[in-house]
Structures are given as C-alpha cells and as structure tokens.
Amino acid sequence: MEDGNLTLHTDKYQINMMYAHWKLNRHNEVRVFDAYFRKNPFNNGYAVFAGLERIVHYVESLRFGEEHIAYLRAQPEGYEEGFLDELKRFAFTGSLRTVPEGTVVFPNEPIIRVEARIFEAQLIETALLNFMNYQTLIATKASRIKRVAPNDTLFEFGTRRAQEADAAIWGSRAAYIAGFDGTSNMESGRKFGIPTVGTHAHAWVMDFESELAAFEAFAEVHPDRCVLLVDTYDTLRSGVPNAIKVGKALEAKGHRLKGIRLDSGDLAYLSIQARNMLDEAGLGYVTITASNDLDENVMFDLKAQGARIDAWGIGTQLITAADNPSLGGVYKLVARKEGDTYVPVIKISGNPEKITTPGLKTVYRIVGSDGKSEGDYIAFPHERVKEAGRLKLFDPVHTYLHKYVTDYEAVELLVPVFENGRLVCPLPSLDDIRAYHRRQMDLFWEQYLRKLNPEPYPVDLSEDVWETKMGLIAKHR
Ligand SMILES: Nc1ncnc2c1ncn2[C@@H]1O[C@H](COP(=O)(O)OP(=O)(O)OP(=O)(O)O)[C@@H](O)[C@H]1O
Ligand SMILES: O=P(O)(O)OC[C@H]1O[C@H](OP(=O)(O)OP(=O)(O)O)[C@H](O)[C@@H]1O
Ligand SMILES: O=C(O)c1cccnc1
C-alpha cells in the first residue's frame, strides 16, 4: 500500500532500450520527452491534471536494489554485469517540468516535460503515464460531476468497486482535487487528510429485529452524526417514518439527526416525498443523501425532475470512469540535446492528430484583460511571449483561422519540479491544490466547460514551433 519501490514498475521494452543504449554507449545522452493526451475523456471540453504527487514520490524513490538486480540477471536477455552495475548506481538526475496538479488542461499540449539522460527518461515513461492517465481521468470525471451539482455535497464512495486498492486511494484524492467534499475511504483520509464520511449499510438494519430498533441503536451510539439508510424495507412507509421518530427522540435529548440516505428506487420521487415528510415533522435540517450507481448524467436528470437531494454518494461510475475507462496520454520524444542545442525530432503519421510537435517547448495560458483565457500557446522557451505585446493565435490545422490578442497576461503552465535530479518545488497541500483548481475553472468561458458538445478550446502553436513542425514534415516526406 505504501508507495514502496516501484523502480521495476515499467515495461520491459524500456529496460531493453536502456540496455541497448548502454551497449552503444549512448545512455548518457540527454533527450526531451513530452507527455500529453490527444482527446478529452467523456467527450468533455477539458481535463483536470492530477497525479503529480505520486510521480514525485516515484521519481525520488527510484533505486535498483539487490532483488531487482537479481531478477534482471535471471532474464533470458542476458543483460551484462556492466549494465547491472550501471543500474545499481541509478538515480534520477534529470529535470522535469509539469503543470501544477489541479490545472485545467487540453489535448495536445505538454502536461509534463522530461529532460534527462535517455537512460532515465526511458525508464520512467511507463509509470509516469500510468499515474498521470488514471488520476487525470478520475479528476476529470469528478469535475464533470461537480459541475452538475456545484452547491451540493459530494462524497466519493467507490472503493469497493475500484480497480484495486491504489486506484481507490489515489482516485479519491483526484476526486477531492476536482471539488468532492469527502471520501468513505479511511486510508485516503489518513494518507491525504481528506475528510472522511460514512452512513451505515443495509446489514445494520437487517441485523436487528426491526428497522426502528436498528435506527434507535445507531442513533444512541452516534447521536450527532447519524445518517440513517431508509430503503431496506419500504422507504416511504417505514424508512422515513422511522427516521422521523428517531429524529424527534434525538431532538428531545438535545441532539439532531443529521440525515437520511436513499439508495434505491426513484430517487427524484422519493427525495421529494421524504423532504416533505421531514419538513412537516419539523425536521427541515435533516439532509437527504442519495446513492445508487450515480453519475453526472443521472444527477443532471434528477435535478431536472426537481429531486431534493443535498448530498450525493458516488461510487462505481466515478472511480472506474465507467463510461470512458482510460485516458490515452502518451510520452513522445521531441528533442535530442547536442552540445547546448536541442535538435527537434518528429514522428510522422497518416493521421494528422498523431504527428508530434517537435522541440523543447513550453506552454502559456493567454489570459485576457477580462480574466478569461483566450487560448493556450505552445512556444519555444526563447520566444518572448510574455513581453510580445501582441500575439497571433492561429489554428495549427486550419491556419486561416486566427486572431490577434494584445492586452493579455501569458501564464507559463509548465513549472520546474525537478532540476538536475533535485526537487525544486515543494509539493503544495491538497487543499491548496483544490483551491488552485477552483481558480483554474474560473478562467474559462462556459462554452468550453459545458457537459454536452463543448466548444474545442484553442491550443495553438507559435509561428516558430509551427514552422519547425512543417519543416520537419517536409524533410521526412
Ligand atoms: N428518477 C430517476 N431518474 C433517472 N434515474 C434514476 C431515477 N431514480 C434512480 N435513478 C437511477 O436509476 C438506476 C436504478 O438502478 P436499479 O434499477 O438497479 O436500482 P433499484 O432497483 O432502484 O435499486 P437496487 O440498488 O436495489 O437494485 C440507478 O442508476 C439510479 O441512480
Ligand atoms: O452505487 P455506487 O455509485 O457504486 O455507490 C456505492 C454503493 O455501494 C453501496 O452499496 P452496494 O452497491 O455495495 O450494494 P447495494 O447495491 O445492494 O446497495 C452503497 O449503498 C451504494 O449504493
Ligand atoms: O457511507 C456510506 O453510506 C457508504 C460508503 C461506501 C459505499 N456505500 C455507502
């Protein structure tokens, strides 16, 4: 469960390339790789970057120990002892820039840039994508959910359905970044300081002679934090009336029933009826939580039906990203360092979307004087984007589509995390990440954020980057 040593959490082809680079004595040559995704998940208009904290712990703990070396020695490839000795000395000595966790990101812009010895850059590809792809996916799903219920309370309930323990724990963290309020997973709570919440299961009710006896017993033990699950037998005929009895009894003793939970049936109808019954009994403060295979689409529909739900417990659909279970983030070589210069390289494809964007680049968010983002702008570091005063933003495919921006702030998105192997940016607290994410969302017009058919947000190339790309396409064709 602890991060442990994940040095061999990589694909074998990375080790085989490392070996070949070592054999050819090119393993110390420096390369630049970009990590990015090509398509937003869930047909959403954006994604929410998450995964950096785990990436940092991973990079810091990279070491080939005795067991790893013994395992590699036993491989049929017959790796030479010199190579294994090189691995024994291995540590990450490269540089890594990333967008901060919680940043709203878009297809085809570098989210992580690695500059390192090819030996190191190649090893870390697999784990880095593994962490980035999963956590970004879940943060994005959570963000979609948050947007349909911005003022409600959102609980992550997915652990039992998650793809194993790490997914549950890091997934609940990703959901919290995107605006969830709590998790049922106690290890996530302990590890990250996320508020934890819990009601009770049907088993509690089934274990007593009657529903009322079960509610009374639970309320006795948890008089101020009690949320009663009311659907075990008959929600409106038995569950809610029994909860009301217990609520009144708690009131008489100076306590307050916190809430009820609905977990089956027509959640719109039942929540409206339950609300009326609670209100009529003078229990207007008792909240209604709903659960049962919820996602942003069902929630949107329930709201359209006038459902009276204050809090939502969301499990399977969120933690497994059930309607789009992977983010296709990739890691592509963009430059070779030769002396002091970076030589751009390209991967050509029949599919224009798969042609890589060459060179060591950075990304700016171009924010207008109204505080809203005009687009993202990929440029070489030597270009004076912040000071230019006037920028031409043009669509890299349909180049006649362009506009000029003059009154803008260019916010560089890629910030140094590791420099020459040293962690140079302290990791922010989870609550700071969450607050930063909220501010990020405010940068965008609704048209880019809407759940259905969002407008594509402009991610543009500087003229220099665009010309470099065109030049390399021409050269290789
Ligand atoms: N009013 C509603 N409009 C749209 N969807 C709803 C409404 N009420 C509930 N749902 C959703 O419909 C689905 C109902 O699933 P299902 O039929 O499996 O549940 P159920 O029979 O009510 O309960 P159980 O969990 O006991 O099987 C769930 O995803 C639930 O969130
Ligand atoms: O539905 P999810 O979004 O995954 O949320 C978590 C679910 O887990 C619990 O029950 P569980 O599914 O274990 O049993 P149940 O379906 O019989 O209620 C809880 O009552 C929710 O329904
Ligand atoms: O606390 C709850 O109600 C809960 C937690 C996890 C899964 N289902 C329900």
Instruction: List the helix and strand counts (H, then E) for the chain.
Output: 16, 21
The pLDDT score that the predictor gives to residue 3 is: 53
pLDDT tens string 367-384: 999 999 999 999 999 999
CA of 294 to the centre of ligand 2 (A): 10
* Predicted TM-score (pTM) of this structure: 0.98
Beta bridge partners of 181: none
- Ligand 2: residues within 6 Å at CB? 157, 160-161, 263, 291-294, 313-317
CA 198 to ligand 3: nearest atom:
1
Task: Find out whether the beta carbon of 182 lies less than 6 Å from any atom of ligand 3.
Answer: no
Q: Which regions of the chain carry the CATH code 3.20.140.10?
A: 12-140+325-476
Beta bridge partners of 373: 367
- What are the E-state strand segments in 99-195? 104-105, 112-117, 153-156, 182-183
For the CA of 233, the nearest ligand? 1
Question: Considering only CA atoms, which residue is closest to atom 6 of ligand 3?
Answer: 157
For the CA of 309, the nearest ligand? 1
CA of 263 to the centre of ligand 2 (A): 7
Task: Find out whether the beta carbon of 267 lies less than 6 Å from any atom of ligand 1.
Answer: yes
CA of 261 to the centre of ligand 3 (A): 10
Q: What CATH number matches the domain at 141-320, 3.40.50.300, 3.30.2320.50, 3.20.20.70, 3.30.390.50?
A: 3.20.20.70
Looking at every residue in the chain, the average pLDDT score rounds to 97
Q: Which regions of the chain carry the CATH code 3.20.20.70?
A: 141-320
- Report the C-alpha gap between 308 and 311 in whole angstroms: 9
Task: Find out whether the beta carbon of 314 lies less than 6 Å from any atom of ligand 1.
Answer: no
Tracing tokens 């042609």 back to the chain, one arrives at: 355
Cα-only R_g, the chain:
26
CATH 3.20.140.10 fits 12-140+325-476, yes or no: yes
CA 305 to ligand 1: nearest atom:
1
pLDDT tens string 276-317: 999 999 999 999 999 999 999 999 999 999 999 999 999 999
CA of 215 to the centre of ligand 1 (A): 24
pLDDT tens string 175-211: 999 999 999 999 999 999 999 999 999 999 999 999 9
**Is the reported ipTM for this assembly greater than 0.90?**
yes
Task: Find out whether the beta carbon of 302 lies less than 6 Å from any atom of ligand 1.
Answer: yes
* Mean pLDDT, range 158-163, rounded to an integer: 98
The angle subtended at Cα 26 by Cα 20 and Cα 29, nearest 5°, is: 130
The secondary structure of residue 429, as a DSSP letter, is P
Query: Concatenated DSSP letters for 144-161?
Result: HHHHHSTTSEEEE--GGG
Instruction: Classify the C-alpha dihedral 84-85-88-89 as positive or negative.
Output: negative
